[in-house]
Amino acid sequence: MKKHAAIAFALGFLVISLFLLGCKAPDGSKAQEKAAAEAAAAAAQAHPDNPFFHPYGTPFNVPPFDRIKNEHFLPAIEEGIRREQAEVDAIVSNRKKPTFENTVAALDHTGIFLSDVTAVFGALQGAHTNKELQALARQTAPMLAGHRDNIGLNDKLFARVKAIYDKRDKLELGREELFLLENTYKDFVRGGALLDEAGKARLRELNQALSLESVKFGENVLGETNAFQLVIDKKADLAGLPPSVVAMAADAAKQAGLAEGRWLFTIQVPSMTPFLTYSERRPLREKLHRAYFMKGDNDNERDNKEIAKKIAALRLEKAKLLGYADHAAFVLENNMAKTPARVNEFLAQLWRPTVVKAQEEAAALQELADRDPRAGKFKLASWDWWYYTEKLRQEKYALDDAALRPYFKLDNVRDGIFALCEKLYGLKFVEKPDLPRYHPDVQVFEVLEADGRHLGVLYMDFHPRPSKRSGAWSGGFRRAYYEQGVRVPPVSTITCNFTRPTADAPALLSTNEVETFFHEFGHSLATLFSQGRYRSRSVARDSVELPSQIMEHWAFEPELLAVYARHYRTGEAIPTELVEKLETSSLFNQGFITAEYLAACILDMAWHTAPDPAAVDARQFESEAMGKIGLIPEIVPRYRSTYFSHIFSGGYSAGYYAYIWSEVLDCDAYEAFKEKGIFDRATAESFRKNVLEPFGTEEPMAQYVRFRGSEPKIDGLLKNRGLTITK
């Protein structure tokens, strides 16, 4: 992030003041500006203790979490809706001939107050929710959906946009302006602007229903995750678990208020995965894993089967109303893949060699289980995979995850990422412990350019808790854009569920967690580097993982490991032999890793191309979809339907394939670094200028070709996954 703190603070205060006084839009009339300012002042007077109605007065204009209360959100959201509608009304009532500036740019500039409020609200819903916030989400979701429809279905507003769009070839717009215009028009059309009145009314109903069902789905997943506990009260049932895992479970039991001599495991991944990896108690492994993969499928009050069906059915009806064959066709029109047929062909191409490799791995694990003298004879099941995979890894490579963790202390990994960003881009990260935070676990950093200019602010929240949904993601409290020629710097967030510290040791990460940290940091860099002049971004879902996944390539490079992978007790660098074992084992278990992911991608596409999802039995539908591709019974899809939050309460519906589609891009892009040196500053600057800074402001392939010189080839992906595709 750039600029001196004092300048950033002054700028932030000025900007928020302008916003709260009604957001002067391009070509706005003096009377409208005055009315907006008076309305904003009246609202501020009516809510003297609500920080959303007043300049934050915080460094870098970050949200004042120490002053924000649950009861502040509803009036602020209501006011945000009112203000944005007034801003839209001002555009519509403008008597001047429609121009890019007084219509498209002005529309892009609306809703800043509402965005600021909902950014905080949404972040807390995911990272630190409670029953009050959940109730507010259910209340405000249909309000916000209705508000979006009021704008998207505004005939007069669309007429102004269309008038500009129809003569776009004569306007001599810049590349970013033309891209914004084309996507603004497309968004209106895809939002129902061409429907008749009956169609628009039905679309509003569908959007209202979808907003509520999505919230319910996410709440149920969180409730199911928090409801299960595996409490161990016999030391013998800890057999096989490393001391660090036992200590973590003891700490968890203590925090949960359990009696002394108890150990607690949950279906949060940092707790579940070590247990599945090391526990010698097969019945307990089954109990834990079954609780995980049956989330939302227990025929109780948190069951998600009917909700998943309803969401898929509502999406199908919406797609058909808008003239598409199904929801996948609607979504993919905006993606690089363009059609469901192309996605399915791509997935099938990868699935064929993947399932062969997974079958080979399953056979090797079964053979190992058969010669386990303590296990007895049994057919390998999903809850056995981690356990015997770890045993096989130790047998083949003498590599033990428990031996690696001491070298991946969380703070060291963080500092390693900082060091990488300094090598590539010259960035500096300055911790700001006094900035407001929404939870004590959160770390806050100012990000500076090499010359000391402020670039943005970064919030990082690492550990699981009952108020946080599972997984890892990157978001933001504010995205970058330009206000009267001056860049408004972003506030980016990274939220994870990493292994917690214990009484005896700091947070020591698994290699998967290390990779996840690098991944999410890549998303954050795209947020921090953004130089788009407008607030609107149009990022193809299947390119959005390029900035994140390219960062993963550096995680275990020996040159970078030498910088950050140090033993948390001794400070010694990770031994060369461990680094070599990491390299030689990099393709180990790739059949499983790729198969469980691809299975989820195929399940996503099945739901969103189904001809009548409302009529299916959800469990049977999923089983049949997996049966068609020959998913082996030892592997469960990474996400089963009833806890597939990415597609039923997130933004990845008909788009979960994006991770591996983007992997074609990131593997090819990383080859550019390997050709010149993995820390080559010129290559990094080219990647920043051509891809990260303009991300979402033009077609992604055009940006990629400017960086790489040609379109990507699939060879890097195949090499990275150890797959060989035969014609």
- The active-site residue out of 84, 317, 390, 520 is 520
Among residues 121, 128, 199, 188, the alpha carbon closest in space to that of 161 is found at: 188
Among residues 91, 110, 97, the alpha carbon closest in space to that of 167 is found at: 97
pLDDT digits (tens, 9 = 90+) for 561-581: 999 999 999 999 999 999 999
Q: Whole-model pTM above 0.85?
A: yes
pLDDT of 153 strictly over 50? yes
Burial of 451 (0-12, 13-18, 19+ CB in 10 A): exposed
pLDDT of 9 strictly over 60? no
Burial 567-586 (b: 16+ CB within 10 A, else e): ebeeeebbeeebbebbeeee
The angle formed by the CA atoms of residues 358, 360 and 361, to the nearest 5 degrees, is 65
Residue 724 is predicted with a pLDDT of 82
Average pLDDT, the chain: 94
Show the tokens assigned to 402.
């428990």
Task: Look up residue 615 and give its DSSP letter.
Answer: G
Among residues 569, 586, 576, 243, the alpha carbon closest in space to that of 407 is found at: 569
In contact, 392 and 365? CB cutoff 8 Å: yes
CA–CA distance, 71 with 378 (Å, rounded to integer): 56
pLDDT digits (tens, 9 = 90+) for 629-680: 999 999 999 999 999 999 999 999 999 999 999 999 999 999 999 999 999 9
Show the tokens assigned to 277.
């990896």
pLDDT band at 37 (very low <50, low <70, confident <90, very high): confident
pLDDT band at 98 (very low <50, low <70, confident <90, very high): very high
Residue position matching structure tokens 């998913």: 631
CATH architecture of 5-194: Orthogonal Bundle (1.10)
**520 catalytic per annotation:** yes
Q: Tell me the domain boundaries of the chain.
A: 5-194, 228-293, 325-399+590-646
pLDDT of 18 strictly over 70? no
Burial 105-144 (b: 16+ CB within 10 A, else e): bbbbbbbbbbbbbbbbbebbbbbbbeeebbebbeebbbeb
pLDDT digits (tens, 9 = 90+) for 338-368: 999 999 999 999 999 999 999 999 999 999 9
CA–CA distance, 541 with 180 (Å, rounded to integer): 17
CA–CA distance, 635 with 663 (Å, rounded to integer): 22
Residue 400 is predicted with a pLDDT of 87
Burial 394-422 (b: 16+ CB within 10 A, else e): eeeeebbbbebbbbbbbebbbebbbbbbe
In contact, 127 and 468? CB cutoff 8 Å: yes
pLDDT of 17 strictly over 60? no
In contact, 41 and 108? CB cutoff 8 Å: no
pLDDT digits (tens, 9 = 90+) for 184-223: 999 999 999 999 999 999 999 999 999 999 999 999 999 9
